[in-house]
Amino acid sequence: MSWWSPFSRSGQPKPAFSIVEYGATSIAIDSIDFFGQFARSTNDQFLFAWQDSDYVGGQIGGHRSRGMGRVILISGGQPMWQRDLQRPNDGAVANSGHCVVNDWLFGSGLRGKFYLLSPSGEFLIAARLSANLLKCGITEDGKLAWCSTARSDNKRDSEIICVFTTDPPRQIFKTDSLYGDVASLTASPDDIHIVTEHGVTYRFSLLGKLLNADTVEAAIDSVQIEAGSCWELLEMVESRLKNIRGKENADEVFELLKLATERDPDRTMAARIERLTGELSYALGNKETALTHFKTALEIDPKVGVKRIVSRLEKETGKSVGLNRANRS
């Protein structure tokens, strides 16, 4: 452990410990040549800061093969402890003084290390993952912590969220990534609630089993219908097309397609809208209507993937609607 000292290596007193904040995320501490990001506990008692640069050998930051960065915990305007890490990022601190931070590690490759530190600076958890780390967090009371990962070739660690407890310090479960970043995490004696930035609430057992899958699916659908992207709406359409049972279900899908056209589709998305409208019409037995939409999809994007069904439907219906000359391929 690297502890802060009021004296320099020569034994002379260092200048007063003065912190200068730049905006809501960056700080400078001149007396120890520190410049980095920080997070503050909600009770305003602790400030946890991290520096992703070689603070000893020249301040080279970002991607590198050597040159340790560091993290520091401050309380009452004074340092409590400092620890050297390779590339610390995305830290957080609880009202208890427990800290979490993602270490992006030296060199290249899909990997990272999540740390949970005690109020006295001890490593309680050091979890190495075969994926790049995205974000991490800790509850206000310091009892639960989490980290999330990006996509990786290692399926075990790809696009997951790991949940940890601080007492005892251990991983309690991991789950697939959720709809949106984690906004809050709380625990009861029987389950754990994770609320995402979109307001979707997930209830997990203490072993990581999702307890409210139907409620989560409905909440995600509601968010996507209200404000989802064109792509998200079309993903919903494709899912529902697999289970079309009649006109009532079809009306819902037609409404989703209408909404998708209002969400600024690019050329590829516009062609996909026409293709899916054609598939829905075909599923309802409206072959001529389906053919018209498939032809429109081809006019927009010749690679939309409907040439075979267009050829078949032309034979079945006896219809042949030519492409616009400007859009022939």
| CATH number of the domain to which 137 belongs | 2.130.10.10
pLDDT at residue number 301: 95
Q: Examine the pLDDT at 244 and tell me if it is beyond 80.
A: no
Does the predicted model carry a pTM greater than 0.85?
no
pLDDT at residue number 326: 38
The mean predicted confidence, pLDDT, of the chain is: 90
Residues 27 and 162 in one domain: yes
Into how many domains does the chain fold?
2
pLDDT at residue number 273: 97
Name the least confident of 72-76, 126-130, 170-174, 245-249.
Answer: 245-249
Residues 23 and 172 in one domain: yes
* In-domain check, residue 106: yes
Residues 36 and 155 in one domain: yes
The residue range of the domain holding 47 is 19-177
Q: Which of 177, 195, 210 is the last residue of a domain?
A: 177
Residues 94 and 165 in one domain: yes
Q: What is the pLDDT of residues 294-322, one digit of tens each?
A: 999 999 999 999 999 999 999 988 876 55
% of the chain at pLDDT higher than 70: 90
Residues 97 and 160 in one domain: yes
Residues 128 and 52 in one domain: yes
Residues 155 and 259 in one domain: no
* In-domain check, residue 209: no
In the 3-class helix/strand/coil scheme, how is the chain assigned residue by residue? CECCCCECCCCCECCCCCEEEECCCEEEEHHHCEEEEEEECCCCCEEEEEECECCCCCCCECCCCCCCEEEEEEECCEEEEEEEECCEEEEEECCCCCEEEEECCCCCCCCEEEEEECCCCCEEEEEEECCCEEEEEECCCCCEEEEEECCCCCCCCCCEEEEEEECCEEEEEEEECCCCCEEEEEECCCEEEEEECCCCEEEEECCCCECCHHHHHHHHHHHHHHHCCHHHHHHHHHHHHCCCCCHHHHHHHHHHHHHHHCCCCCHHHHHHHHHHHHHHHHHCCCHHHHHHHHHHHHHHCCCCCCHHHHHHHHHHHCCCCCCCHHHCC
Higher confidence at residue 11 or residue 38?
38
Name the least confident of 3-12, 70-79, 147-156, 298-307.
Answer: 3-12
Across residues 235-246, what is the average pLDDT?
85
Where residue 324 falls among pLDDT bands split at 50, 70, 90? very low
Residues 165 and 233 in one domain: no
Q: Examine the pLDDT at 131 and tell me if it is beyond 50.
A: yes
